[in-house]
Amino acid sequence: MDLTSEVFEVDDFEKAVELCYEQRWTDGLPVIPPTRGAIERVIEYLGRRPADMIGVIPPANRVATIENIAVNSVMAGCKPEYVPFVIAAIEAMLEERFNLNGVQTTTHNCAPLVTISGPGVKTVGFNTREGSFGHGCRASASIGRAVRLILWNVGGGYPGEPCKTTLGHPGYYSFCVAEDQDSNPWEPTHVESGFAAEDTVVTVTAAEAPHSIATGAGYRPAADVLYVIADAIAVLGSANVSGGEMVLVLGPMAAKNLADAGLGRADVKRELMRLATRPVREVKHRHSIATTHPMHWSNIVDPNDDEARVPFIRGPENLVLLVSGGWGSGVGFSALCPGWGALGGYTVRRRVEFPRRSA
Partner 1 sequence: MSIQIFSPLGQPEVVQRHAPRSLAAIVGAKIGYVFNQHTSALSFWKSLEAAIGEQHRPSAAHRLYKTNTWAPAPKADIDKLISETDYAVVGVGA
Q: Which residues contact 96 (CB under 8 A, 6 or more apart)?
A: none
Q: Which residues pair with 213 in a beta bridge?
A: 334
* C-beta separation of 45 from 355 below 8 A: yes
* C-beta separation of 220 from 261 below 8 A: no
> How many whole angstroms separate alpha carbon 231 and alpha carbon 225?
10
Selected binder of partner 1 within 23, 123, 193, 329 (CB under 8 A): 23
Q: Is 5 in the site for partner 1 (CB under 8 A)?
A: yes
> How many whole angstroms separate alpha carbon 242 and alpha carbon 76?
35
Stretch that binds partner 1, among 58-66, 218-226, 228-236, 270-278 (CB under 8 A): 58-66
Q: Which residues pair with 246 in a beta bridge?
A: 319, 338
User: Could you tell me how many residues of this chain bind partner 1 (CB under 8 A)?
Assistant: 53
Selected binder of partner 1 within 42, 72, 139, 183 (CB under 8 A): 72
Q: Least distance to partner 1 from the beta carbon of 6, Å?
A: 4
* C-beta separation of 175 from 321 below 8 A: no
Q: Is 239 in the site for partner 1 (CB under 8 A)?
A: no
Residues 164-183 that bind partner 1 (CB under 8 A): 164
Q: What is the CA radius of gyration of the chain?
A: 21
Stretch that binds partner 1, among 112-120, 123-131, 281-289, 323-331 (CB under 8 A): 281-289
> How many whole angstroms separate alpha carbon 27 and alpha carbon 304?
47
Nearest to 3 by CA among 33, 32, 31, 44: 44
Q: Least distance to partner 1 from the beta carbon of 31, Å?
A: 9
Q: Is 288 in the site for partner 1 (CB under 8 A)?
A: yes
Q: Is 87 in the site for partner 1 (CB under 8 A)?
A: no
Q: Is 138 in the site for partner 1 (CB under 8 A)?
A: no
Q: Is 13 in the site for partner 1 (CB under 8 A)?
A: yes
Stretch that binds partner 1, among 93-101, 113-121, 189-197, 351-359 (CB under 8 A): 93-101
Selected binder of partner 1 within 43, 48, 59, 65 (CB under 8 A): 65
Q: Least distance to partner 1 from the beta carbon of 137, Å?
A: 23
Q: Is 16 in the site for partner 1 (CB under 8 A)?
A: yes
Q: Which residues contact 159 (CB under 8 A, 6 or more apart)?
A: 165, 168
> How many whole angstroms separate alpha carbon 295 and alpha carbon 314?
10
> How many whole angstroms separate alpha carbon 161 and alpha carbon 157?
8
Q: List interacting residues with partner 1 (CB under 8 A).
A: 3, 5-13, 15-16, 19-20, 23, 25, 33-36, 39, 56-57, 60-65, 68, 71-72, 75, 96, 99, 101-102, 106-107, 149, 153-154, 164, 287-290, 292-294, 342-344
